[in-house]
Structure formats: C-alpha cells, structure tokens
Amino acid sequence: MSSDGLRVYQELGVKPVINAMGFMTVLGGSRPSPQVQAAMNHASRYFAGMEELLKKSGDVIAEILGAEGALVTPGCAAALALSSAVCMAGSDPEKIQQLPDTTGMKDEIIIQKSQRYHYDRCVTIFGAKMVEAGDDHTTAEQVESAITDKTAAIHYVAPGGGAGVVSLEEVLSIAKAHDIPVIVDAASQIYPLAQMRRYPESGADLIGYGAKYFGACNSTGVLCGRKDLIDAAFLHSFIGYETRDSRCVGRPLKLDRQEIIAVVVALREWFDMDHDARVAEHQQKAQAIQDGLSGVPHITCSTVLDERTLGNGLRVTVDEGALGKTAEQISEVLLNGDPSIWLHGGNGSLHIAVSNLLDDDVQFLADRLRELLTA
C-alpha cells in the first residue's frame, strides 16, 4: 500500500478510501491509466488556445464514436444541461444570452414518467421544464400526445427497455415526425463498444457520456451528435462566453486543457484495448478475494459479471443469522476503518466491484473482510 498515496490525504485530515464500489462520483470517479496521466502531464508543459483545442479534440472524438460532432464537457451532467440550452435557444445570440429566462422560447422537454430519475434535474438548470408523458407504463401514443408548440426536445434515459418504457427507436420516429430533437443520457453506456456507438448511429440528436467510465477524469464528459447542435453547444459553453460577445449560461462549465487531452487519450485507449484481457483481470481479482475468504463459514461467494463491465467483481452472500451480524453492519465497519473501504452492503450480501482496485487493495480488502467475518 502506497505510503505517499496515504500521506497526501492524511496531511489534509482526509481518510483515504479503497474503492470497491466502482465508478462513483462521490469517490472521485475513476483511476486514469498511466498513459492518460502521462498525457495530462505532457499537456501541462504548454498552453493551448482552448477554442482550437475543443474543436480539434471534438473532431477526433466524433470520428471514434461515429458522430457528426462532439464536445468535451465537465461531466455528463454538463452535457445534458448544454443540450437543453441548445434545444431551447439554438444558435440565436439573443436567446443564448436570455437564458435561463425562457420567455418566448420552446422550453418544455418531454420525459416518460416511467423514466423519471435523479439526474433529470440536470436538464432543467438552464430554464427548461420537464413534462411527463404517460404513467408508469408509458406508451408511444402518450409520448406523442405530450408534444405541444412549447416542446423543445424529448429526453431519453439509455439503455431504456423494460416494461412500460417506449423504445429509443420509437421515440426517435415520433420526434422526427414532429421535427423535435432527442437528448439521450447514455452516461455509463460505454461497453460493449458497439453499444457506445449505438446512440450516435441511431440518429439521436444529442448524446451525453460520462468520461470517468472509460478512464478519463471524474470531472469530464462528452456531448456528441448532430454537428449543427454541437456547434450551437459550443456557443453556449464557457469558451463561447470567452471568445464571443456573449453572456451565455455555460460559463461556469469550464475545463482544463489537461482534462480535454485526458478524454481524447482515454477514449482512444478504450477503443484500442483488449477488453477480454481487462475482464479476465477483473475475474482474477475477484478470485483472489474469494481465495482469501476460503474456509470462512456462513458465507457464499459468486462472481459478478456486469454487461457493461463496470460492476464486475464478487458477491459475498452472508448467513446473517448464523454469523450474528448483517451485511450492512459489516459494510459499516469497513467504511469506518482507516483506510476506509467502500463497497455495497445490504440485503444479506456484500458486492465488491474490482475495476478500481489495485493488487495491494485486493489483498488488504480480503484480509480485512476475513478478519471481520471470523471475529
């Protein structure tokens, strides 16, 4: 375990955390690879014209994703917020400066009631209003009937699917018939690679991704889609504020040049890497933890393979009655340790996500967990 890594936090009075929860914003999101970190360090040597950097990096990202255009943003939440601004004000300089006052604009964004979620707040921060379509089992007819002369866009939460959710294909068909853009929150839909490319290829107008999921900084994201709308998003962004006579709402959404470079390098790395080997490494870490718990009574271990690979790891099911303690209590003790170990614990099991665990983290976690389970 790195003494320098521990000390940098301990000197601030902050407890270091071993992250067995995955890609969590509240834990700092991701662990950029050595190549991404090196690229950020190299980018620090020189400055860059941020307008040119954003445009050229967007061209590279768009080509990788199969989109007409792309823009690096400070997180997927910013991508969604900029999308709503674009759908309301477009490239009109007066409307851009008028936001978040939406008087005289189309400012309603439709969302299926069956898709309401915590992060739809991001769509409204620049003045848009969410309008629910249907009920807990939304139909295509209900989505279409929610469209009015105030509708600016339809918001869709990827991957969709499930009972009561109208498919993306149906939503796109309805939107196209009414000449309304569709915003897709595809924040964590980054694997399989064909799934990540699916949304630009589907004809969705604006798509947001969280760049932490493919190995960039916690603070970054990608907005991609139709070139005219991405160009408009550029006008609404912080660089639009700085390079034009504009007082746009996107000024707080600033990025470092190092972050932009990190997104490009991480995305290239993501599309070039051997993902079978990456998943195999996850399985090896999960097996190492399971081996460390060998012989511990009152538990059952099973491998977790998440379709997106983000939650790959190990599930430890606990016989709480025989053990005399609950999974939630075990999780709480781990949380309060130093270093703290964060994992998902409750409902009789512990879920250990291994994607952000280093080898010494794996050993420490296995030893600590064994200690608690056999106490």
CATH number at residue 41: 3.40.640.10
> Considering the chain, what is the average pLDDT of its residues?
97
Distances (CA, A) of 1 to 7, 12, 112, 329, 363: 11, 19, 47, 25, 10
SS3 content of the chain, % helix, strand, coil (to 5): 45, 15, 35
Q: What residues contact 75, with CB distance under 8 A and at least 6 apart?
A: 210, 211, 218, 219, 220, 221
Quote the CA–CA distance of 145 and 161 in Å, as a whole number.
21
DSSP string, 252-279: T----HHHHHHHHHHHHHHHHS-HHHHH
Q: What was the pLDDT predicted at 4?
A: 84
Rounded Cα gap, residues 72 and 259, in angstroms: 9
Tens digit of each residue's pLDDT (9 = 90 or more) over 176-229 = 999 999 999 999 999 999 999 999 999 999 999 999 999 999 999 999 999 999
pLDDT at residue 3, as a whole number: 80
Same-domain check for residues 22 and 168: no
Determine the pLDDT at residue 136. Answer: 87
Please check whether residues 238 and 362 belong to one and the same domain: no
Q: Which of 138, 135, 145, 126 is nearest to 77 (CA)?
A: 126
Could you give the number of structural domains in the chain? 2
Pair 260, 174 in one domain: yes
Q: Residue range 77-99: average pLDDT?
A: 98
* pLDDT recorded at residue 375: 84
Mean predicted confidence (pLDDT) in 266-293: 98
Categorize the per-residue pLDDT at 161 as very low, low, confident or very high, splitting at 50, 70 and 90: confident
CATH number of 293's domain: 3.90.1150.180
Instruction: Specify whether 43 is located in the same domain as 163.
Output: yes
Q: Are residues 344 and 248 in the same domain?
A: no
The residue out of 212, 241, 272 marking a domain boundary is 272
Q: Which of 128, 236, 108, 225 is nearest to 178 (CA)?
A: 108
pLDDT at 266 over 80: yes
Looking at the structure, do residues 305 and 238 belong to the same domain, yes or no?
A: no
Q: Would you say residue 2 has pLDDT above 80?
A: no
Strand order in the sheet with 299-304: 299-304, 313-318, 349-353, 344-346
Are 60 and 203 in the same domain?
A: yes
Which pTM value belongs to this model? Answer: 0.96
| Structural domain span for residue 96 | 34-272
pLDDT digits (tens, 9 = 90+) for 47-62: 999 999 999 999 999 9
- Give the Cα separation of 196 and 190 in Å (integer): 5
| Residue 163 clears pLDDT 90, i.e. is over it | no
Q: Say how far apart CA 260 and CA 154 lie, in whole Å.
A: 28
Q: Is the pLDDT of residue 325 over 80?
A: yes
Same domain, 107 and 233: yes
Q: How far apart are the first and last CA of the chain?
A: 24
Each residue of 29-53: pLDDT tens digit? 999 999 999 999 999 999 999 999 9
Distance CA 289, CA 291 (A): 5
- What is the torsion angle, in degrees rounded to the nearest 10, for the CA atoms of residue 95, residue 96, residue 99 and residue 101? -10
Name residue 305's amino acid: L
Of 245, 272, 299, the position where a domain reaches its end is 272
Q: Check whether residue 133 and residue 248 sit in a common domain.
A: yes
pLDDT exceeds cutoff 80 at 1: no
